[in-house]
Amino acid sequence: MTGRLILAAVACLGIEQTQTPTFRSGIEKVQVDVLVTRDGRPLTNLTPADFEISDNAVPQQVDSQWAFEEMPLNLVFALDASSSLAGRRAELLRDACYGVLEQLKKDDQAALVVFAEAVVVRSRLTPNLASVRAAAELPLPPGQTSLVDAVQASMVLAESEPGRALILVFTDGADVSSYLKPDAVLETAKRSDAVIYGVVLRGEARPPFMGELAEASGGALFAASPAEIGQAFRNVLEEFRHRYILTYAPTGVRAGGWHKLRVRVKQPGTSVTARPGYLR
């Protein structure tokens, strides 16, 4: 894949390529997206007082918290359209998208990115979910897999409008044709506010990049058979609905560079998933 195709994908969003999505960590506030579970089940009804956050090992005061329902969602589908996803697999992938679109709420928006050798933005963020569905019904472009490039375009797209950003990436194989380097896109993820979930086909090669990306953004990576793609997509949305957004004003830490985050819940027996840190 050439750099020209990446430039085209970003330019079609109406955003300068040099603009990097930024994790909302200005001088006043840091925002952290957190999933809390106990015995594999999301734990709800927590308050700011239940959380402890350290920033570069310095304890911070959590000053506010929101649940999913209180903030509109910007959901970006990033779907592998390489030649191995023809026929029945392509049908199952489209049906999985339709199922998630049906569960979105009034103020939510969705967008669609498909990628083979080229990265194509089929739909920008829009509350018109019928138009996103129509975009998903178009034939998939043939070619190899430009996964890394597609993730970069999806992060720019997800944060092109206000809202809570979720990127749902599906792929059935390793990247073989991206122009951008994985490390560069992982760096973008560390600055981005988007949470990235990946779904890969069970039994196929699992790209290391996907696991690194999920960890860097505080998301997760799931494996599914072709018949289970729809349920996996629904599980991603359901899990995301039970996440919290915590904010704090950084105190006693330097302004720039990498900040290591540690988030814990005071209640025993809990498991916490959050991004490991952020860049300022």
Q: How confident is the model at residue 149 (pLDDT cuts 50, 70, 90)?
A: very high
Name 261's Cβ contacts closer than 8 Å, sequence gap at least 6.
32, 53, 54, 55, 274, 275, 276, 277, 278
102-125 pLDDT, tens digit per residue, is 999 989 999 999 998 889 999 999
- Answer whether residue 17 is part of any domain: no
Same domain, yes or no, for 116 and 219? yes
Q: The domain that contains 215 carries what CATH number? A: 3.40.50.410
d(CA 78, CA 109): 14
Count structural domains, the chain.
2
- Answer whether residue 10 is part of any domain: no
Same domain, yes or no, for 229 and 269? no
Same domain, yes or no, for 58 and 100? no
CB atoms within 10 A of CB 64: 11
- Answer whether residue 9 is part of any domain: no
Q: Note down the domain range covering 55.
A: 30-69+243-279
37-85 pLDDT, tens digit per residue, is 999 899 988 888 999 999 999 999 998 766 555 678 999 999 998 766 7
- Asked if the model's pLDDT at residue 159 lies above 50, the reply is yes
The three-class DSSP label of residue 75 is: strand
Same domain, yes or no, for 41 and 119? no
Residue 171's alpha-carbon distances to 15, 78, 93, 160, 226, in angstroms, are 26, 9, 10, 23, 11
Same domain, yes or no, for 150 and 265? no
Same domain, yes or no, for 98 and 39? no
Single pTM value for the model: 0.86
Express as a percent the part of the chain with pLDDT over 70.
87
Same domain, yes or no, for 234 and 118? yes
